[in-house]
């Protein structure tokens, strides 16, 4: 598929060789009835196929929560469309929230080749990437995983064995121009650093959503 751009519900969606990439998200964060039905079907199938990620949880309870929260459904749709394959990984008993996370085997394809944040994006005088991880996460209504959350996710499977993902970077490191990313190699989870303005075709980011 050749590169093209379409506008759906005030969302700029860029198709790059079959991969959906969200460059800018505006208002109107609501899905059509057909989109809602298709998304809930996909999420249900993934939930039931991967019960080891969420033992003792019932999909019916998750769906009930989603059906009354259109904006969260829209965010999950954005996660799905950019290749994140979101799934429930935890029920926070303190807040009574279900926590969804990108569970794709590799860093989501529609969110790669991005620098860390807007400041890093603006600092590049040439060869700028299209967007930054923090910008995209904010637009999608999700949070970047912290290093601790990333390591928790890795306890549920083997992720990013060929790619890597930006993680939320402590302010002290970010003020000095750096940013953190993680991956899994040699059956071990590693944390590294790069200049926040750097970007690579094999690095995206994973997000988390509380519902």
SS3 label, residue 104: coil
Q: What is the pLDDT of residue 28?
A: 60
Q: What is the pLDDT of residue 18?
A: 44
Backbone angle region of 80, left / alpha / beta, with phi > 0 → left and psi within -120 to 50 → alpha: alpha
Low-confidence ranges of the chain (pLDDT < 70): 1-28
Rounded to the nearest 5 degrees, what angle is found at the Cα of 48, between the Cα atoms of 45 and 50? 105
- The token pair at 99 is 């926590």
Examine residue 4 and state whether it is found in any structural domain, yes or no: no
Euclidean distance between CA atoms 128 and 86, whole angstroms: 28
Q: Edge to edge, what strands does the sheet with 97-102 contain?
A: 86-92, 97-102, 207-210, 143-144
Report DSSP state, residue 145: P
179-198 tens-digit pLDDT: 999 999 999 999 999 999 99
Q: What is the pLDDT of residue 6?
A: 32
Q: What is the pLDDT of residue 20?
A: 61
Examine residue 6 and state whether it is found in any structural domain, yes or no: no
Examine residue 73 and state whether it is found in any structural domain, yes or no: yes
Examine residue 12 and state whether it is found in any structural domain, yes or no: no
With beta carbons less than 8 A apart as the criterion, state whether 178 and 172 touch.
no
Q: Please classify residue 158 by burial: count the beta carbons closer than 10 Å to its beta carbon, then call 0-12 exposed, 13-18 middle and 19+ buried.
A: exposed
In terms of residue numbers, what domain contains 109? 28-211
Examine residue 3 and state whether it is found in any structural domain, yes or no: no
With beta carbons less than 8 A apart as the criterion, state whether 101 and 86 touch.
yes
Alpha helices per DSSP H over 32-180: 33-49, 59-67, 70-81, 118-123, 133-140, 147-154, 171-175
Examine residue 11 and state whether it is found in any structural domain, yes or no: no
CA torsion 23→27→33→39, rounded to 10°?
Answer: 40
22-60 tens-digit pLDDT: 554 444 678 999 999 999 999 999 999 999 999 999 999
**How many structural domains is the chain composed of?**
1
Examine residue 79 and state whether it is found in any structural domain, yes or no: yes
Examine residue 16 and state whether it is found in any structural domain, yes or no: no
- The reply to whether the predicted model has a pTM over 0.85 is yes
């Amino acid at each position: 598929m050749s590169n093209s751009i379409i506008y759906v519900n005030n969302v700029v969606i860029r198709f790059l060789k079959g991969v959906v990439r969200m460059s800018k998200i505006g208002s109107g964060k609501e899905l059509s009835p057909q989109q809602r039905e298709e998304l809930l079907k996909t999420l249900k199938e993934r939930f039931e196929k991967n019960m080891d990620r969420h033992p003792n949880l019932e999909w019916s309870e998750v769906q009930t929560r989603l059906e009354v929260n259109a904006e969260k459904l829209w965010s999950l749709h954005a996660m799905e469309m950019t290749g994140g394959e979101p799934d429930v990984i935890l029920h926070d008993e303190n807040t009574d929230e279900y926590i969804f996370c990108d569970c794709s085997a590799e860093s989501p394809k529609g969110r790669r080749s991005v620098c860390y944040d807007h400041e890093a994006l603006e600092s590049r005088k040439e060869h700028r990437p299209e967007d930054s991880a923090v910008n995209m996460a904010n637009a999608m209504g999700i949070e970047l995983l912290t290093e601790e959350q990333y390591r928790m996710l890795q306890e549920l499977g083997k992720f990013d064995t060929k790619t890597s993902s930006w993680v939320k970077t402590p302010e002290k490191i970010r003020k000095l121009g750096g940013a953190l990313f993680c991956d899994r190699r040699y059956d071990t989870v590693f944390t590294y650093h790069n200049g926040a303005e750097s970007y690579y075709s094999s690095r995206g980011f994973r997000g988390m959503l509380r519902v």
